[in-house]
Structure 1
Amino acid sequence: MSESKIKFLAYYLPQYHPIPENDAWWGKGFTEWTNVVKARPLFKGHYQPILPADLGFYDLRVPEVQRQQAQLAQEYGIDGFIYYQYWFGNGKMLLQQPAEQMLKNKDVTLPFCFCWANETWKGIWHGLDNPEVLIEQTYQGEAGYKTYFNYLLPFFKDERYIKVDNKLMFHIYRIEDIPDLEVFTNTFNSLAIKAGFGGMCLISTVTSNPNFIIANNDFYGQVGLDIFFKMRYSKKPFFVNRSFLGKIENRIRMHLNGSYKIGVRTKPLVFDYKKGASNFNIQFPNTKYISCVFPNWDNSARSGKKSLIFKNATPKAWQEHLQIATNESLKNPKNPPFLIIKSWNEWAEGNHLEPDSRYGLQWLEAVKNVKATLKDL
């Protein structure tokens, strides 16, 4: 990674290749691109479809694509990718091919780590009209965690894998869903030490319990702009809790006194990114926070009228948002030196850094501009 004071890590979606499950749920050859090209404006001034530019409608089965992505990310100041990893238990995985392919492709030099997206997939959350379970997340205790760790071990041993004081960085999407959390952490931590590492650096998204969110969030009123990580160190692993766009739905529901329901909403929820970002200022309450920022968000490509949209998300507003978060990190040198960006390529959520047909490379140029301010220090 570069030698700047703060490392910029971006979430990476490995969805852009056909798999049998997606064929069965959405039709032969489905990928996120299928939703992206079908998107249409929902109100005056709404810009859709949001289409890719330089990298095109890529297929992650092509090794050259990942090399190009990594090269572009490095050129513009991204220090690593956080690959979403879908392990459902009993050895069942989805969308693992890009990461496995990347592991073998040493032309991809960008550092990486994983986020275990431990969530049951339901149709209502993935663009379908029915609430049925598509695939269930399961847990098999110590034996299952050992199997999972052993699958991940070749990735952990790779020199590109991101470590903190020789601890393996590993994100967890829904920590509250793990029924035997202590068993999980003890198993992963002991196996990491046995493999020659310092243990695990475990990072989790914040619990979806509304009371927990309120109790741990000083910026409840700034919907969508209070995205941060809260880190809790222990003698073994340490955790980072993150309030994150996927959980904003819960906070909006509370804000509307229960009158809002995702499944029956008939028009999108629209918020002003530019106005919010210009006033955005994250106050680190202790030494255990890491900021998370987002350049844009419009998931109408996937969710249609049930979507969440941040209008006026421009590269200029994004750069202001990123600069403020970076400055706050610099003011807190005792905090871990990372800043998380959501995301590199979640196109159906309108949440990306990759070049698009409207702004080209400007999302990445904003990152590069902010990174340049770190080199001057």
Structure 2
Amino acid sequence: MNKFRFIAFYLPQYYPTASNNRWYGTGFTEWTNLGKARKCYPGHDFPHVPSELGYYDLRLPEVREAQAALAREYGIEGFCYYHYWFGNGVRELERPFQEVLASGKPDFPFCLCWANQTWKKKMWDKDAVIEAKILQEQRYPGPEDEEAHFATCLPAFRDPRYIQVDGKPLFMIYRPLEMPDPTAFMEHWQKLARENGLKGIYFIGQTPNAKRDLEAILQTGADGVNTLRMHDYRRCWNPVKYALKRLWWNFSPYPKIVKYKDISRFFIAEEDRRENIFPSVLPNWDHSPRSGRGGSIIHGSSPQLFERNVREALAAVAEKQPDHRLIFIKSWNEWGEGNYMEPDLRFGRGYLEALKRAIDAVSAGEH
């Protein structure tokens, strides 16, 4: 039987923090944006309402256990927690993962994705057309900070639950090409890993623009690339159609809207068959809870269409070495962006069931 490694990105923005209280008001979480959002156009599939897990608080270990149990039941190997290190020891949203690490529970695999981007207030406002205000700047102070960052991650790397590739802890960098010297950073961490008894680090860089960035990321010294192709459809439009669409989006009273059935066929590409290129599957996308009219929406997603996306991803990785049959799910619980696998009132466990159907069918030899 083939072994497929589905890893779901995991957002920890579901508990109050001192920074968010200061920036957005007391008690702010991802649920705040979801609760304020409204339908943006006729036929908009909204609101998105969680069902069996409810509007949870990630400070509760029972919630984290329930999430892991669901993910495991439907074929997900582990969670890739977004990890925020802004330089000079500044961190955000670290509590849920630190409690998972310290408690040993849930007994469910995990890895980290360093979300190395500056936080701007427009990312969370109702209307994204306002001037961006920097809340927390991403900085790269140099080698001493890199050592402090590594030391913070080392207990996770040593945890038996930590996801490995080729015997090395998997560490994803969200935007490696935005770093001033990604090669020096990776070489430094590889040295630190070996000095601390690890075989090394398996670095994966992510890109939403594989055509532009793929080879550049690999040239930094990254071991692999995670592709997220939700915008690749635009490259297949002729220039006139693209110009007209951009004009419409600029003046329309609605967000940028595209159909899932039309664009999902671009989510997987030939490059994803390469041994060190790892595709993503996307259940849905709806950024309007965070950005209102300034956002973008993929319209008409369904578990059936998502299952097709999963099968195409499985076909792309099927001939790789077992350790490299990685497929990333964008995402487990990003409710404010409308991409989540957790059960909701509309489809229940539909997306989870679609994932398992696809895995079982391909593993049994169906095409």
Q: Secondary structure at the match of 1:232?
A: helix
**Which piece of structure 1 moves more, 285-294 or 262-271?**
262-271
Contact between 1:230 and 1:240, CA under 8 Å: does it hold in 2?
Answer: no
Distance 1:150 1:48, change over 3 A: same
Change (3 A) 1:65 1:264: farther
Measure the CA separation in 1 of the matches of 2:194 and 2:43.
54
SS for the counterpart of 1:146 is: helix
Which of 296, 308, 319 is the aligned partner of 1:308?
Answer: 296
1 or 2, which has the higher helix percentage?
A: 2
Q: 1:279 to 1:96 in 2, by over 3 A?
A: closer
Aligned partner (choices 102, 110, 113) of residue 112 of structure 1? 110
What are structure 1's unaligned runs of at least 5 residues? 218-228
Letter in 2 for 1:6: F
In the alignment, is the contact (CA less than 8 A) between 1:269 and 1:308 conserved in 2?
A: yes
Instruction: Tell me if 1:143 matches 2:128.
Output: no
Alpha-carbon RMSD: 3.0
Q: Distance in 2 between matches of 1:250 and 1:134?
A: 31
Q: 1:132 to 1:180 in 2, by over 3 A?
A: same
1:81 shift after superposition: 0.4
What does the per-residue CA deviation read over 1:89-146, in whole Å, with 9 as the maximum and x for residues that have no partner? Answer: 1100000000001112323111000000010011222326331101100111111100
CA distance in 2 between counterparts of 1:244 and 1:279 reads 7
Choose from 324, 331, 340 the match for 1:343. 331
- % of aligned pairs identical? 37
Partner residue of 1:80 out of 65, 68, 78: 78
Structure 2 alignment gaps of length 5 or more: none
Q: Distance in 2 between matches of 1:262 and 1:185?
A: 40
Match of 1:166 in 2: 167
Q: Does 1:153 align with 2:141?
A: no
Counterpart contact for 2:283–2:341, Cα < 8 Å: yes
The answer to whether 1:43 aligns with 2:41 is yes
Q: Which residue of 2 aligns with 1:101?
A: 99
Q: Aligned equivalents of 1:335 and 1:102: distance in 2?
A: 24
Shift of 1:302: 1.1
Cα distance, 1:264–1:86 mapped onto 2, change above 3 Å:
farther
User: Relative contact order (alpha carbons < 8 A, sep ≥ 6): 1 or 2 greater?
Assistant: 2
The answer to whether the Cα contact below 8 Å between 1:296 and 1:350 also exists between their aligned partners in 2 is yes
CA distance in 2 between counterparts of 1:45 and 1:159 reads: 47
Counterpart Cα distance in 2 of 1:175 and 1:257: 33
Which residue type is aligned with residue 200 of structure 1?
A: I
Partner of 2:177: 176
Letter in 2 for 1:283: E
Question: Which whole-Å CA distance do the structure 2 matches of 1:131 and 1:231 have between them?
Answer: 28
Distance apart, 1:20 and its partner CA: 1.2
Q: 1:56 to 1:4 in 2, by over 3 A?
A: farther
Partner secondary structure for residue 348 of structure 1: helix
| Equivalence for 1:240 | 225
Give the superposition deviation at 1:230. 9.7
Tell me how far 1:5 sits from its aligned partner.
1.7
In the other structure, the counterpart of 2:354 is 366
Measure the CA separation in 2 of the matches of 1:310 and 1:202: 30
Distance in 2, Cα, partners of 1:47 & 1:173: 29
State whether residues 53 and 356 of structure 1, in contact with CA within 8 Å, keep that contact through their aligned partners in structure 2: yes
1:352 aligns to 2:340 (yes or no): yes
Task: Rate the CA distance shift 1:367–1:258 in 2: closer, same or farther, 3 A.
Answer: closer
Aligned to 1:270, which of 254, 257, 261?
257
Count of residue pairs brought into register by the alignment: 357
* Whole-angstrom CA distance in 2 between matches of 1:306 and 1:249: 20
1:59 maps to 57
**Distance in 1 between residues matched to 2:279 and 2:142, nearest whole Å:** 32
- Within 1, Cα distance between the matches of 2:208 and 2:301? 27
Greater shift, 349-358 or 121-130, is seen at: 121-130
Looking at structure 2, the residues matched to 244 and 214 of structure 1 have their Cα atoms a distance apart, in angstroms, of 10
Deviations 1:235-269 (A, max 9, x none): x7513153455x779979x9449957999975311
Counterpart Cα distance in 1 of 2:163 and 2:172: 11
CA distance in 1, matches of 2:109, 2:342: 17
Q: Name the CA distance, whole Å, in 1 between partners of 2:298 and 2:169.
A: 34
1:130 partner amino acid = E
Q: Is the 8 A contact 2:233 2:266 kept in 1?
A: no
Following superposition, the deviation at residue 344 of structure 1 comes to: 0.2
